[in-house]
Structure 1
Amino acid sequence: MEALLASTFTVAIAEIGDKTQLLALILAARFKNKTAIILGILLSTLANHFAAAWVGQWAINWISPEMATYIVAFSFFAIALWVLVPDKVDAEESRFYQMGPFIATFILFFLAEMGDKTQVATVVLAAKYDALPLVVLGTTLGMMIANVPVVIAGHFSAEKLPMKWIHRGCAALFALLGVATLLY
């Protein structure tokens, strides 16, 4: 249960102001079918985060438990610093928009998550907890918690949120996860 809650909370917080959340806002403004967008986010995140969690669990089997603790803690500290650099959405990928809201969302979200801090967090969480299904479920729930309200209220802009403070709070949470990893 700790893996599920930690994964959900970590990714929900890390996703605020992330490029995929900004992408959700763009997609919501572009397409009227919010259900297709939400379903695209859900399935894309499940696929992406399953692969990331699998890599995390695979990699952790090749190193000693002590070294794994240091690597996971260092990763949390690195993500804490990374969160302080705000994301921006790349130029619109209009060729995908022709495929409709579900396919466009699925492809664009999958690509945007590649190497993103929430994907890296998923790898690290899977390495920390030996519970792949719970980590994937938790990180996916975290993504949905952060992105579904943006899709539903597509006119709401992320610029209205105190992003500087949100990023600092998120960085502090990742740093605390790093410290907790070293202590426990």
Structure 2
Amino acid sequence: MLGLITDFEKFTLAFLKSAGVILASEIGDKTFFIAAIMAMRNPRVTVFLGAAVALAAMTVLSAAMGWAAPNLISKVYTHYAATALFFFFGLRSLYDAFLKADDGEESELEQVEQELSKSKSTGKDLDAEEKKGKNGNLGGNLFGMVFSQIFIKAFTLTFLAEWGDRSQIATIGLAASEDPVGVTLGGVLGHMVCTGAAVMGGRHLATHINEKTVSVLGGLLFLLFGGHALYTGPE
């Protein structure tokens, strides 16, 4: 009975850590803006599903990589490597918020807008897809939605943007030192919340995000998790 309680506590801690990391790092990130801008021009449900599936797949893949790491490398090394990553991302976020000079670099929002403008679909194409979805049955709607250009575009852009992102690396690090199931479920939930907010809020929400505040909160959260991991030590 004590073992079950301990396992549940580990799962809960991993779940909360993972969800917190994602919420702190994904709000205002490139994948957030991709969903926000695409949802302005295309059916929201299709954009949400494309982005959500991509992020869920990336979370599962990242957690699997983190779970496999201790089987290849000592648990002690993977734990302290993950701890170092938390401190690195935390300090990097705070540096970006307070000390990084503005050299005229494009914001994440501007970069995403440029990328999407290069591959945007015509209004006629989108209208045609929406009409097909409305006139067909439920099965046809779902099939058409999943295999639509909008879904594939949202999935592809989101998956590529997430690869190598700090949230992916943080997920790998968490899964290497925490319960991988809790990390996976927490990460998926965090991504769903962020993507849902982006899709519903659209550009209005995207343009009103204070990047400095997000960086500060994210940096503090990463440092908090790093401190906790350092305090508890490897199991």
TM-score (norm 2): 0.71
Alignment equivalent of 1:37, drawn from 47, 60, 74: 47
Contact 2:75 2:177 in 1 (8 A): no
Partner of 1:103: 152
Shift of 1:167: 0.6
Shift of 1:61: 2.0
Q: Identify unmatched segments of 5+ residues in structure 2.
A: 1-11, 98-106, 123-147
Spell out the pairing of 1:13-162 with structure 2 (5 A cutoff).
13-31=24-42, 33-84=43-94, 85=96, 88=108, 89-90=111-112, 91-93=114-116, 94-95=118-119, 97=121, 100-131=149-180, 133-162=181-210
Segments ≥4 residues shifted beyond 3 Å: 81-87, 93-99
Query: Which SS does the other structure have where 2:156 is aligned?
Result: helix
Shift of 1:181: 0.5
Distance 1:36 1:49 in 2: 20
Shift of 1:130: 3.1
TM-score (norm 1): 0.89
Query: Is 1:178 matched up with 2:201?
Result: no
Distance 2:91 2:37 in 1: 26
Partner of 1:2: 13
Larger Rg: 2
Distance 2:78 2:30 in 1: 29
Q: Identify unmatched segments of 5+ residues in structure 1.
A: none
RMSD between aligned alpha carbons?
2.0
Contact 1:83 1:117 in 2 (8 A): no
